[in-house]
Structure 1
Amino acid sequence: MTLEEVVGCNITDKKMETVSQALEELLAAAQRQDCLTVGVYESAKLMNVDPDSVVLCVLATDEEDEDDIALQIHFTLIQAFCCDNDINILRVSGIKRLAEVLCEPTTTDSNANEPKDLHCILVTNPQCQPFKCPALQEVGSYCKESRCKNQWVPYLSLQER
């Protein structure tokens, strides 16, 4: 490995870590402001009714979801819709970490509520004023940089803490 490759890997790793933290901050802030839509079907309904309010679409999977054909078809359709409507889109792994960030249960038992479908999460603008958050700008610029590199759907891995 050359010095350029080592330095390049370190810069990329730090950028991914920064964007991951920004995404977590953004999701927490959006949840506090009631600007999150969680779930594949709920997200599809919102995008059909009011696509202009959506500022970011997060598609989350883990290894066990890779063989779920129905989920992959939904993702393909959502990605196409987001590209057609100029909505930033981000694929992430780490549903367990997403659940921690959003304070959602991750397992079902007889006493717990059914966990929400965290495979698709939309961040929307509030009705009265645009959603302003430095984390949104950080994630948005990462998405834009990725598109400039012909990576239309950037990928992040959320790390458990």
Structure 2
Amino acid sequence: MTGDCKAKSMNIGEAINETLIRAMTEDRITSGIYSSVKILQISPEMVMLCLIMDAHPSEDVSIHIQHTLIEAYCLEQDIHFLKVSNLDKIGEVLELPAGEFRNSKVDYSCVLVQHPKFQNNLDDMIGEFCDKSLLADDMFSPPVIDLPV
């Protein structure tokens, strides 16, 4: 199956999974609120996608405020961003291969994916999805994406 056909048959969750896996192998992932904010502050033009955990104000107000500020910044800087429903799924996708050191304290509540050297169909698909979501809603509230396991 070619890259074009494969991208067209995937849903957005599968495309994000594939992009995360590819970005992880190419060392283009930044995770955690503080590390992500540093990258966004220093070089926002390098960020292709920001994934944020769907945090409800009733759960943790400080996390909700941080995420709201990151969302606003991404909108201002034209950075694609989406919310994901489950931190555990991002952690599973980004886990190190067996035998390598695993840090159970890694913060996946905010994950940045930097632009690849060469754009591919999955990246384009995610960008188009984000653009369509933005245009479809006057008061932009990104859809919450379920990542497959």
Same fold (TM over 0.5): yes
Match of 1:98 among 90, 98, 104: 90
TM-score, structure 2 length as denominator?
A: 0.80
Distance 1:29 1:46 in 2: 19
Range moving further from structure 2, 21-30 or 95-104: 95-104
In structure 2, the partner of 1:154 is 142
Is the contact made by 2:55 and 2:64 (CA closer than 8 Å) also made in structure 1?
no
Match status 1:52 vs 2:45: yes
| 1:116 corresponds to | 106
Higher RCO (CA 8 Å, separation ≥ 6 residues): 2
Return the offset for 1:99: 1.1
Cα pair distance change 1:96/1:66, threshold 3 Å: farther
2:54–2:144 Cα contact (<8 Å) kept: no
- 1:96–1:160 contact (8 Å) kept in structure 2: no
RMSD of Structure 2 on Structure 1 (CA): 2.4
- Residue 32 of structure 1: which of 2, 25, 31 is its match? 25
Q: Give the superposition deviation at 1:60.
A: 1.3
1:138 aligns with 2:138: no
Rg larger in structure: 1
**Counterpart residue number, 1:107:** none
CA 160–22 in structure 1, closer or farther in 2 if over 3 Å, else same: closer
TM-score normalised to structure 1 length: 0.75
> Structure 1 CA distance, aligned partners of 2:81 and 2:141?
6
5+ residue gaps in structure 2? 1-7, 97-101
Cα deviation, 1:32-85, whole Å, max 9, x if unaligned, reads 11111111100001110001101111001367x851111011101101110110
1:160, 1:148 → 2: CA distance? Answer: 26
Percent identity reads: 30
The total of aligned residue pairs comes to 136
The correspondence for 2:76, drawn from 74, 84, 103, is: 84
